[in-house]
């Protein structure tokens, strides 16, 4: 039985043309869960991870709107809230999907903490946009009153930026391995996990956002998964994306991918972290990472679609 870590994007749960209600999220999850059920039917042992960007953004807006009435939660707690709520909705929806197919599978949603390094350079250079847009005047007020770092994001205004450090350790690693040994399907690492640092007195939450794909790659490495699958909005990774000479990538080595990254082919705000996570997993574990769309996932795992990143086998 092959073990696959599958990273689902937060925008697959809350779409841009929707308000993000629970009903809308569950509707979107039903589509996703039908495809996950296909893989359970195919005999895969699965660990599901998911994004939470839109959901954390909503909580940040709620914090701003109700700031005078209730205490504002720090960013690590906001991440924990969405990891819990989305884990519950995804678990419930998947259980219902499997039962409708008369399939039996044990599920567990695990709240995952991810240790980062306080000395990570990301803390000196915050780059991850979160939350709503503000005017220049509002941004200046937030910087002065709350100490936020605010940057212009396109022509829509200013947004808060926070550090996005590299994940280095998974606190719940042993719990996840134990569940997999007992044949559970595990849902975890929501939004890249809850960022924590190790202090002399123990773990402490920190204001940061961990990239979901990099955390998923580390998880796949630590549990020795056979496959790392990252779902995105396109069926394959492409170079010269959107141009006349655009080229979709089929099966490529980490070395070729890193060459393209140095050329700036994969922007850090979109495909960059996925390709980086795929390269790390392929290099360290010597196994295969796949980047594709939700619709092409089953075909991609059968080798008929998607971009496959793996080390080249030595010639005989």
8-state DSSP, 155? G
Burial class (CB in 10 A: 0-12, 13-18, 19+), 185: buried
Give the highest mean pLDDT range of 1-10, 90-99, 141-150: 90-99
d(CA 224, CA 213): 16
Q: Residues 53, 79, 128, 287: which is the catalytic one?
A: 128
Closest CA to 166 of 200, 229, 231, 213: 213
d(CA 38, CA 58): 31
d(CA 222, CA 231): 20
Q: Let me know how long the chain is.
A: 316
Q: Which CATH architecture has domain 3-127+163-225?
A: 3-Layer(aba) Sandwich (3.40)
Q: Is 163 left (phi over 0), alpha (psi -120 to 50) or beta?
A: beta
Mean pLDDT throughout 119-143?
Answer: 91
pLDDT grade for 315, boundaries at 50, 70 and 90: very low
Q: Residues 2, 11, 20, 272: which is the catalytic one?
A: 11
Q: Residues 217, 274, 287, 306: which is the catalytic one?
A: 274
Q: Residues 192, 212, 217, 287: which is the catalytic one?
A: 212
Query: Is the distance from CB of 236 to CB of 307 less than 8 angstroms?
Result: yes
Mean pLDDT throughout 92-105?
Answer: 96
Percentage above 90 pLDDT, the chain = 78
Give the highest mean pLDDT range of 59-68, 151-160, 245-254: 245-254
pLDDT of 5: 98
Residue 99 has pLDDT above 90, yes or no: yes
pLDDT of 65: 79
Beta bridge mates, 238: 248
Domain with CATH 3.40.1160.10 in the chain: 3-127+163-225
Closest CA to 106 of 226, 3, 186, 38: 186
Contacts of 292 (CB under 8 A, 6+ apart): 229, 231, 232, 235, 236, 300, 305, 306, 307
Residue 212 annotated among the catalytic residues of the structure = yes
Query: Is the distance from CB of 144 to CB of 150 less than 8 angstroms?
Result: no
**In this predicted structure, which of 51-55, 94-98, 183-187, 216-220 has the lowest mean pLDDT?**
51-55
Residue 262 annotated among the catalytic residues of the structure = no
Residue 79 annotated among the catalytic residues of the structure = no
pLDDT grade for 101, boundaries at 50, 70 and 90: very high
Query: Is the distance from CB of 231 to CB of 4 less than 8 angstroms?
Result: no
Percentage above 70 pLDDT, the chain = 99
Residue 84 has pLDDT above 90, yes or no: yes
Residue 11 has pLDDT above 80, yes or no: no
**Mean pLDDT value across the chain:** 92
Residue 10 annotated among the catalytic residues of the structure = yes
Residue 269 has pLDDT above 80, yes or no: no
pLDDT grade for 316, boundaries at 50, 70 and 90: very low
Residue 35 has pLDDT above 80, yes or no: yes
- What are the pLDDT digits (tens) for 281-308? 999 999 999 999 999 999 999 999 999 9
Residue 243 annotated among the catalytic residues of the structure = no
Q: Residues 9, 10, 190, 217: which is the catalytic one?
A: 10
H or E segment and range at residue 205: strand 202-205
pLDDT grade for 313, boundaries at 50, 70 and 90: low
């Amino acid at each position: 039985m092959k073990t696959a870590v599958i990273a689902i994007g937060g925008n697959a749960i809350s779409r841009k043309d929707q308000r993000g209600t629970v009903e809308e999220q569950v509707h979107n999850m039903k589509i996703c869960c039908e495809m996950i059920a296909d893989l359970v039917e195919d005999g895969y042992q699965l660990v599901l991870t998911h994004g939470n960007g839109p959901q954390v953004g909503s909580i940040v807006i709620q914090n701003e709107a109700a700031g005078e009435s209730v205490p504002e939660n720090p960013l690590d707690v906001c991440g924990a809230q969405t990891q819990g709520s989305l884990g519950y909705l995804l678990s419930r929806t998947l259980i219902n999907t499997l039962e409708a197919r008369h399939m039996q599978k044990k599920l567990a949603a695990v709240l995952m903490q991810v240790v980062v390094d306080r000395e990570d350079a990301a803390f000196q250079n915050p780059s991850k946009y979160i939350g709503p847009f503000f005017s220049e005047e509002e941004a200046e007020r937030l910087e002065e009153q709350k100490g936020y770092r605010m940057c212009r994001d396109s022509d829509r205004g200013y947004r808060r930026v926070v550090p996005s450090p590299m994940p280095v350790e998974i606190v719940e690693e042993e719990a996840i391995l134990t569940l997999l040994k007992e044949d559970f399907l595990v849902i975890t690492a929501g939004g890249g996990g809850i960022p924590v640092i190790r202090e002399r007195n123990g773990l402490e939450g920190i204001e940061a956002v961990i990239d979901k794909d990099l955390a998923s790659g580390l998880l796949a490495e630590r549990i020795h998964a056979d496959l790392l699958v990252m779902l995105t909005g396109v069926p394959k990774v492409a170079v010269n994306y959107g141009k006349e000479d655009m080229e979709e990538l089929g099966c490529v080595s980490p070395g070729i991918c890193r060459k393209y990254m140095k050329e700036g082919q994969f922007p850090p705000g979109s495909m960059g972290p996925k390709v980086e996570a795929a390269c790390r997993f392929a290099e360290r574990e010597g196994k295969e990472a796949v980047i594709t769309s939700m619709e092409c996932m089953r075909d991609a795992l059968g080798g008929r679609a998607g971009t496959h990143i793996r080390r080249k086998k030595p010639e005989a």
